[in-house]
Chain A
Amino acid sequence: DTAVSQTPKYLVTQMGNDKSIKCEQNLGHDTMYWYKQDSKKFLKIMFSYNNKELIINETVPNRFSPKSPDKAHLNLHINSLELGDSAVYFCASSPTGQGRTQYFGPGTRLLVL
């Protein structure tokens, strides 16, 4: 199936731990994104990569570090997890250029205890 996939789907962890979320797209897109959706369902962009190059870096704590090994993958590593990091994290991808449709993955539900 052509899609944006994320692993894991659920992630429950303790405060202070380090965790990673992986994203892969097989749509042939050049641009990938990470979004955070909080408990009130507000969606906010965190990062965007174009051909492995960081092009959007919102005001996100340094504990969050994206890594793009190739243009089909964009992973998110989170250090020293805090309670406030609990949210749903969505990966998305789009062709390069303005106004291009972004295709979202199914989300990773992170719960920090």
Chain B
Amino acid sequence: QQQVKQSPQSLIVQKGGIPIINCAYENTAFDYFPWYQQFPGKGPALLIAIRPDVSEKKEGRFTISFNKSAKQFSLHIMDSQPGDSATYFCAASRGATNKLIFGTGTLLAVQP
């Protein structure tokens, strides 16, 4: 059973476009929702994270929108660049163990 569902599986946008990646979760005990960015051959790196007490968080060109009632959250990348081409993972965790449950990943390609 996939606790964190992510879509789409892949996404192609033109430079300057705004790709949106969506995630949904079931467990209402989750209290931390990070997004990770992974380039080929590298480990995942934290991009931005949100807690359920806020509905939106923005860091640079990256924005998380969070809908607690719908148990959904999404990543928006403003003014996307070819250098943003990577695999993006949403995740969720709860409690002190900090155990991250990852979504299935979205392969983003930003075309010049």
Number of interface residues of A (CB under 8 A): 26
Tell whether, in the assembled complex, residue B99 and residue A90 are in contact, meaning their CB atoms are under 8 Å apart: no
The 10 tightest CB contacts between A and B, nearest first, are A104-B43, A99-B32, A43-B102, A41-B105, A101-B46, A104-B44, A98-B96, A106-B43, A90-B43, A107-B43
- What is the CB-to-nearest-CB distance from B24 to chain A, in angstroms, rounded to a whole number? 17
**Chain A residues with a Cβ under 8 A of chain B:** 4, 31, 40-45, 48, 55-56, 90, 92, 94, 96-107
Tell whether, in the assembled complex, residue A99 and residue B44 are in contact, meaning their CB atoms are under 8 Å apart: no
Question: How many A-B contacts if CB must be within 8 Å?
Answer: 66
- Given A99-B49, A104-B45, verify A56-B104 contact (CB < 8 Å): no
- Given A55-B97, A98-B93, verify A105-B43 contact (CB < 8 Å): yes
Residues of B near A48 (CB, < 8 A) are 97-99
Alpha-carbon gap, A92 to B100, bound state (A):
11
B51 within 8 A of partner (CB):
yes
**Chain B residues with a Cβ under 8 A of chain A:** 31-32, 34, 36, 38, 41-46, 49, 51, 87, 89, 93-102, 104-105, 107
Pick the most buried of A45, A102, A104: most chain B CB atoms within 10 A of its CB: A102
Alpha-carbon gap, A98 to B29, bound state (A):
12
Residues of B near A92 (CB, < 8 A) are 43
Residues of B near A56 (CB, < 8 A) are 97, 99
